[in-house]
Chains A and B, each alone.
Chain A
């Protein structure tokens, strides 16, 4: 519980009351707290929340590619004496690399605009755990319209770059699935 009692101020406080009621008295959170590792209202929390909302996109891209490829190449690698890790690194991963990249791009696109999950776990500590979309809202609420729009434009720019990379990767993914 100690780590929850240490939010560095800000709007996270209102959240504290709610989270505290569902925290267990022992187990990993308490052990993490003992080592002074903070999850909620810190970067790890944001990363975890982002992973939860975006990993399904990678899975959706990679699973069909792997199914189309079948498992014969992995079996061939095993027979030739490769270990599990060698098989994954030298055979499986190269075959699905575009699928993984494509999924990662969809992931980052999703995460760039993530508001809800980020808002809940980040604590919105300015300069520490604030994300771009959250920052747009904060600035807007503070009537700093120019700054708010500037940040929004940065987001738009990133979205456009992602779009370009996405279409390049999509072509390669089709190649991987067809072969």
Chain B
């Protein structure tokens, strides 16, 4: 099932949650909507689900205009951020709900409902907990019940709002891997909303980054990480060092850092911005050219990584990351002067 969002806008009072958003999602695709809170990603998900009516624009399912269709008719599986399980029903009844409320003509028989629910509970590995109430379950278990309940109606599209938002880090990782396998197994078009870049990059086939009601970039996790389209994407996805300065013709010399990379000259007097990720910086003990001398302020060893905080002559902080063995070979400590240069520098000229 493909989804096409065409020119959708939504305003809440004076806040413009969505500004003319267009997006196409292919059948079977696993798409992440990534953005800071208030960027409009949840609103977009709710518009697709029909829980929110757009002020302008249309959502098409397989080319068919869905404007006149109610939420109930769209056959959508929606997993809410806080799961929204029915508190007064057992896990079994929660999952069976979507089947029980069907009109009599299309409602499966009791035995059939029982079989389907048992099957779904087995799929989410909760077959032994059917008789429990939501309040007796852990966060991760509730999440899986919510997923089973959404899948019970055999949705054409699965929408998940911050699916791991309320879970602790360890459970989150486990569930993420599990969900990825499950989604491959059932092969249904899936859109999930998250503000966690790691989650989006690890889980999705395609990532759509939103900011202030607009789409900033739409691409594969690799493209978003390696070829950010805008400064916002660069700073939002991954850690980054920002260097300010003016670009002389042909070369970037920014706050003393220069990179051998040809660039367009700056069109005006404003500072240009250059970005380098911490792992794209190289640290050495000798002046090899094209870099700058800095002082080591702090070193933290995290597993196989060394995270080094450097300060340049003007007191600006630069973060660098390198492999632990590489760092140990350098034999530098806090207070030492080192020579840093960027293997790679991305520049967004300030037009």
Contacts and interface: CB of A to CB of B under 8 A. Distances in A.
B71 A78 contact: yes
A81 B51 contact: no
Nearest to A78: B71
A86 B97 CA distance: 10
Band of interface residues on B: 20 to 34
B87 A79 contact: no
A81 B71 CA distance: 7
Contact of A79 (B49, B85, B86): B49
A72 B80 contact: yes
B97 A95 contact: no
Given A78-B71, A80-B153, A90-B101, A73 B51 contact: no
Nearest to A94: B88
Interface in A84-120: 86, 90-91, 94-95
B88 A77 contact: no
Nearest to A69: B87
Contacts of A73: 84-87
Dominant secondary structure of chain A at its interface with chain B: helix
Interface residues of A, number: 17
Interface of A: 72-73, 75-83, 86, 90-91, 94-95, 179
Given A78-B72, A79-B76, 15 more contacts: A73-B85, A75-B78, A75-B84, A76-B78, A78-B51, A79-B51, A79-B71, A79-B78, A79-B150, A80-B97, A80-B153, A81-B73, A81-B75, A82-B97, A90-B97
30 contacts: A73-B84, A73-B86, A73-B87, A75-B80, A75-B84, A76-B84, A77-B86, A77-B97, A78-B70, A78-B71, A78-B72, A79-B51, A79-B71, A79-B72, A79-B77, A79-B150, A80-B97, A80-B98, A80-B150, A80-B152, A81-B72, A81-B75, A81-B153, A82-B72, A86-B101, A90-B86, A90-B97, A90-B101, A91-B86, A95-B88
